[in-house]
Amino acid sequence: MRRAAAGLALAALAGCATPPASSPPAAKLATPADLYGPLFEAVQMRRLFADGKTFVDAVPRRAPAAILADYRARATWSDDALRAFVRANFDLPAEPAPVADQPARPRRPILAHIRALWDELARPPVVAVEGESALAFAGRHVVPGGRFREIYYWDSYFTMLGLAEDGRHDLIEGMIDGFVGLVEAHGRVPNGARTYYLSRSQPPFLYLMMGLSRATDRDILARRLDALIAEHRFCMQGGRVVRMPDGALLNRWWDDRDTPRDESFREDVETARASGRPAARVYRHLRAGAESGWDFSSRWLANGRDLASIDTTELVPVDLNALLYGMERDIADRCAALARDCEAAFDARADRRRAAVERWLWDEAGGRYGDWHLPTRRQRDGLSAATAYPLFTRLASPARAARVAATIDARLIAPGGLRTTLVRTGQQWDSPNGWAPLQWIAADGLLAYGHDAPARRIAVAWVGTVQRGYAASGKLVEKYDVEDSREGGGGEYPLQDGFGWTNGVTRAMMARWGIGN
């Protein structure tokens, strides 16, 4: 890996062969809340459907303006009348039954089950239709499952790990091409392929997805590099960038809107009311927490317990900055491979980011990486699985990686896999839940630095938990309780079956570590 002089100015990027700024701005694409206004608010606040995602995924049967005009023409609506009006004017998606209420699937070996699920979860390219929230997506792709009917950003990398093991490069290339198309259309990969996700992204894994590709055509590679540079530009603008006490630039989770999330409208309104703080500020924190992928976690809670205390945008998170370091290194490599003049500038950016992460996001006493709290100018207390990210992206020095490995080994590995945090709040990204992506990130990062034993412990424990769950129910679910090796819980919605990233990580771990069958 080449290294450029760390002193190159940020302005050096001006000379890179970059594509023009993407358009149109995401904020100009209407969400269901924008389109249906008072109708939307009534449906969501009255909780006419058990899942707040049901109405926002509905497809209108006629022009949205005409539907809204008919709604406004009537002064009052009972719940039953409003529900009937919605059903008459929209095609509603099926609401999946809770996992506990679903019949067990026929038993077959878990690897055969995962292979069969790829086509079950695969979807054709999506064509956008006026008035509905689905975004156009160019490639055939895999969705997570359950209520998650569309493709999601960071989920997809972990799904692709399993697709690669099973030789499904058709789906890998389709998903990468679709994500590149989203960047070209909107300037970023949104949280998911819905209009109501466009104001935020998710952990930036697109460069790692491209690393799984077999594409060699220079035109394809050039288009993908342009997409990565455009995504990086999005990350480095507006409220997403923060300046540390020494002037270094790092990033935080952010959302361009400060309104309730369309898909969790009532929940967000209730959280803001309970907070005693300006509602717009709370909404921004909730949206930023959703961008992080950890929605929600004690990492983002000022008092470490209650969602009403959420303060996501006041933190400089280690996982995001480690991923951006990896992206910058990858862009530099791609610039070199394509003989672009942007290699040195991105190498310099990566060098600066690495130095800033090591200075501000390292906790020497705790032997961990963590999140910097901007108002207090100190690290937030609390160990989490995010400490593994600098190992996963190869940012950490060997000495600090050894300290992190010891911390993970002593405190984060549970009987059923890697703990997310050490606290119980009822939020789904806290104890006792473990999540497939964090298992892979930690195990892969540990292995990269030669800490084979804890990496294998995580893999064996996780695969064992998934296999036990599968033997009991015939299902692969979104998250697991790693303390008791059973299905997980907590959060804003019921446990989901499917499930893309669980399938992908489990399949990849079984292959890499030679475990299970």
Concatenate the DSSP letters of all residues of 462-485 into one string. HHHHHHHHHHHHS--BSEEETTTT
The C-alpha atoms of residue 73 and residue 69 are separated, in whole angstroms, by 6
pLDDT at 105: 66
Amino acid, single-letter form, for residue 169:
H
pLDDT at 51: 96
Domain boundaries, the chain: 28-95, 114-122+384-517, 126-235, 253-314, 316-363
Q: What are phi and psi of 316, to 5 degrees?
A: -105, 105
The C-alpha atoms of residue 286 and residue 298 are separated, in whole angstroms, by 13
pLDDT at 379: 97
pLDDT at 381: 97
pLDDT in tens, 214-249: 999 999 999 999 999 999 999 999 999 999 999 999
pLDDT at 12: 31
pLDDT at 5: 30
pLDDT at 106: 65
Do residues 316 and 279 make contact, with C-beta atoms less than 8 angstroms apart?
Answer: no
Q: What share of the chain is helix, strand, coil (3-state, %, to 5)?
A: 50, 10, 40
pLDDT at 26: 38
Q: Cβ–Cβ contacts within 10 Å for residue 378, how many?
A: 11
- Which has more pLDDT, 20 or 93? 93
Dump the DSSP string for 298-343.
Answer: GGGBTTSS-GGGB-GGGEE-HHHHHHHHHHHHHHHHHHHHTT-TTH
pLDDT at 516: 77
Active site residues: 295, 478
Predicted confidence (pLDDT) at residue 101 exceeds the cutoff of 80: no
Torsion from C-alpha of 448, 452, 458, 462, nearest 10 degrees? 90
Do residues 315 and 297 make contact, with C-beta atoms less than 8 angstroms apart?
Answer: no
pLDDT at 103: 72
Dump the DSSP string for 35-77.
Answer: HHHHHHHHHHHTT-SSSTHHHHT-EESS-HHHHHHHHHTSS--
Averaged pLDDT score across all residues of the chain: 93
Indicate the pLDDT class of residue 19, thresholds 50, 70 and 90. very low
pLDDT at 468: 95
pLDDT at 2: 36
Q: Which two tokens stand for residue 437?
A: 């992506």
* Percent of the chain residues past pLDDT 70, beyond the cut: 93
pLDDT at 10: 30
CA angle centred on 192, ends 512 and 320, rounded to 5°: 60
pLDDT at 24: 35
